[in-house]
Amino acid sequence: MTSLDKSYFKNPPDSFRGVPFWSINDKLDAEEIRRQVRLLKSAGYGGAFFHAREGLITPYLSKEWLDIFASAIKEGKNTGFNVWIYDENRWPSGFAGGLVPALGPKYRAKGLVLIPDSKVYGGPEIIARFRCTLDKYGMPVAYEPAKEGEEGSKYLFLTFVASVASNGRVWYDGFSYVDLLNSEAVKTFIKLGYEPYLKFREEFGKQIPGAFTDEPNVSVTPHLERRTNIPPRGHQYPIYSIPWTDKLPEIFRERRGYNLLEKLPELFFNVGDYRKTRLDFWRTFTELFTESFTKQIYEWCDKYGLKFTGHLLAEETLLSQIHTAGAMMPNYEYMHIPGIDQLGYRIWYLLLTAKQVASVASQLGKDRVLCETYGGTGNYPSFSDRKWIADFLLAMGVNLFTHHLVPYSMRGRRKRDYGLNFHWSQPWWRYNRLIEDYLARLNYILSQGSRVVEILVIHPMVGAWCSYTPVNESEVKKLDGLFRKLLEKLVELGIDFELGDELLLAKYADIIDSGFKVGRQVYRVVLVPSTPCILNSTLNLLERYVSKGGRIIFIEPTPNLVDGYRNEKLIHLIEKSVRFRIEDLTLESLLDKPIIKLESEGIGKILYHMRRVDNQLVLFIINTSREEKFRVKIGVRGEWCVEEWDPFTGEIREMGATLKEEMTWLDTTLYPIGSHLFVLKPGKPTSPKPENALTEERVYGSWRLKLLDNNVLVVDFCELSANNIDYGLLSTY
β-strand partners of 447: none
Collapse the DSSP code of 569 into the 3-class scheme (helix H, G, I; strand E, B; otherwise coil) and give the result: helix
Spatial CB neighbours of 206, under 8 Å, sequence gap ≥ 6: none
| Structural domains present in the chain | 103-169+221-277 (no CATH), 455-590 (3.40.50), 614-682 (2.60.40)
Strands 663-670, 630-637: pairing is antiparallel
Looking at residues 128-155, what average pLDDT do you find? 92
Which has the higher per-residue pLDDT, 581 or 728? Answer: 581
The span from the CA of 310 to the CA of 86, in Å, is 9
Q: Which residue has the higher pLDDT, 231 or 645?
A: 645
Tens digits of per-residue pLDDT, 498-522?
999 999 999 999 999 989 999 999 9
Give 251's pLDDT tier (boundaries 50, 70, 90). very high
Coil/strand/helix, residue 203: helix
**3 state DSSP class of 374:** strand
Interval 592-608: pLDDT, tens: 999 999 999 999 999 99
**Confidence check: pLDDT of 293 > 70:** yes
pLDDT-above-90 percentage for the chain: 84
pLDDT digits (tens, 9 = 90+) for 57-76: 999 999 999 999 999 999 99
User: Does the pLDDT value for residue 222 go beyond 70?
Assistant: no
Q: Which helix (H) or strand (E) holds 568?
A: helix 568-575
State the pLDDT at residue 702: 86
Asked if residues 52 and 176 have their Cβ atoms less than 8 Å apart, the reply is no
**For strand 156-164 and strand 126-134, is the pairing parallel, antiparallel, or unpaired?**
antiparallel
Q: Is the pLDDT of residue 227 over 50?
A: no
> What 3-state class would DSSP assign to 137?
coil
What's the pLDDT at 379?
Answer: 85
Task: Report the pLDDT averaged over residues 549-567.
Answer: 97
User: Confidence class of residue 574 from pLDDT cuts 50, 70 and 90?
Assistant: very high
What per-residue confidence (pLDDT) applies to 53? 96
Q: Which residues contact 700 (CB under 8 A, 6 or more apart)?
A: none
Q: What is the pLDDT of residue 234?
A: 47
> Is 733 a residue whose pLDDT tops 60?
no
Please check whether residue 525 is in contact with residue 554, taking contact to mean a CB–CB distance below 8 angstroms.
no
E strand map for 480-576: 498-500, 509-512, 515-518, 521-523, 525-528, 533-534, 551-555, 561-562, 565-566
- CA distance linking residue 132 with residue 373, whole number of Å: 49
Residues present in the chain in total? 733
Check pLDDT > 90 for residue 537.
yes
> How sure is the predictor about 712, in pLDDT bands with cuts at 50, 70 and 90?
low
418-434 tens-digit pLDDT: 889 999 999 899 999 99
**Percent of the chain at pLDDT exceeding 70:** 95
For the segment 473-490, the average pLDDT, to the nearest whole number, is 98
Residue 699's pLDDT band (cuts 50, 70, 90): confident
How much is the mean pLDDT over the chain?
94
Backbone phi and psi for residue 250, each to the nearest 5 degrees, phi listed first:
-65, -45
Task: Give the model's pLDDT for residue 233.
Answer: 47
Q: Which residues have C-beta within 8 Å of that of residue 355, sequence separation ≥ 6?
A: 396, 397, 487, 497, 498, 499
What pLDDT is recorded for position 714? 66
pLDDT range class, residue 232, cuts 50, 70, 90: very low
Sheet holding 156-164, edge to edge: 140-145, 126-134, 156-164, 110-117, 240-244
Q: How many Å apart are CA 282 and CA 289, to the nearest integer? A: 10
Beta strand residue intervals within 614-731, DSSP E? 616-623, 630-637, 640-645, 652-655, 658-660, 663-670, 675-682, 717-722, 725-731
Q: What is the CB-side half-sphere exposure of residue 572 using CA atoms within 13 A?
A: 7
